[in-house]
């Protein structure tokens, strides 16, 4: 855990140094970055650390890697603060929108999967654990989240501990039950506060008012491509801006 924290701190420092370097570049001359070896020497870190940071920046659309040519800055995306790319978790998304993130676990329960079992490759009569969480931007609720997992497979998770855990739910799950979530599918839909009483309560919507929201339905998969976490997140886009940056090279 301590080692993981040091690695995250190092990557965070190198990421900022790399972004500072990009800001000082003259893009009218070239958008090409130094090589991985050159940046490793410049920032006095290992090449693997440089590669990890570049992978994160690539996922956010801030850099573009071209095999055999190098890594190039994508200037228009440099100032896009928050994206829906996989390596950006919900706490980071809030932070990138300029707020101090927080969360409150409302509760969890074991219930029959019913139709939700299909999202996790379970039978309707299997048990799932449903966890309800509010994410906050400062003092204001900005996301209402309902996560579902296989109750038997995730039996060792203490969900109350998650409220005090400072990092992502993916790292928390890995720490608790050694299940690593490595990729996901996000379905984006329109939603509104009158769809369920919990949304009206969470976002303090007055009677007679309908608040528009963005609904993210996220299925997370482990290393064996098994769906392991199915979540529904309702986002107040007045507080949290959602962007997608895509590389269309070759399309």
pLDDT single digits (tens) 136-188: 999 999 999 999 999 999 998 999 999 888 878 888 999 999 999 888 888 88
CA 251 – CA 249 distance, rounded (Å): 6
| pLDDT over 60 (residue 30) | yes
| E-strand stretches of 88-126 | 101-112
The rounded percent of the chain whose pLDDT value lies above 70 is 90
Please state the pTM of the whole predicted model: 0.70
Lowest mean pLDDT among 36-40, 80-84, 101-105, 165-169: 80-84
- DSSP three-state, residue 245: coil
Q: Which of 63-67, 137-141, 148-152, 206-210 has the lowest mean pLDDT?
A: 63-67
Position 60 pLDDT exceeds 70: yes
Handedness of CA 246, 91, 195, 209 (dihedral sign): negative
Asked if 14 and 53 touch (Cβ cutoff 8 Å), the reply is yes
């Amino acid at each position: 855990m301590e080692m993981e924290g040091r690695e995250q701190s190092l990557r965070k420092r190198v990421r900022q140094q790399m972004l500072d370097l990009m800001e000082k570049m003259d893009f009218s001359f070239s958008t090409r970055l130094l090589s991985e070896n050159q940046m490793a020497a410049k920032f006095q870190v290992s090449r693997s650390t440089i590669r990890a940071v570049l992978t994160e920046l690539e996922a956010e659309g801030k850099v573009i890697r071209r095999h055999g040519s190098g890594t190039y800055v994508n200037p228009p995306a440099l100032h896009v603060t928050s994206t829906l790319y996989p390596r950006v978790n919900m706490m980071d998304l809030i932070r990138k929108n300029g707020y101090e993130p927080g969360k409150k676990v409302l509760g969890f329960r074991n219930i029959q999967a019913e139709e939700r079992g299909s999202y996790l490759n379970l039978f309707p009569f299997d048990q799932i654990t449903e966890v309800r969480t509010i994410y906050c931007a400062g003092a204001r609720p900005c996301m209402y989240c309902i996560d579902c997992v296989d109750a038997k497979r995730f039996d060792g998770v203490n969900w109350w501990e998650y409220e005090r855990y400072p990092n992502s739910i993916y790292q928390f799950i890995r720490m608790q039950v050694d299940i690593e979530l490595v990729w996901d599918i996000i379905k984006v839909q329109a939603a509104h506060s009158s769809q369920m009483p919990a949304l009206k309560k969470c976002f303090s919507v007055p009677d007679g008012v309908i608040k528009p929201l963005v609904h993210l339905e996220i299925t997370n998969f482990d290393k064996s491509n098994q769906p392991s976490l199915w979540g529904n997140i309702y986002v107040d886009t007045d507080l949290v801006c959602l962007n997608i940056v895509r590389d269309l090279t070759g399309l």
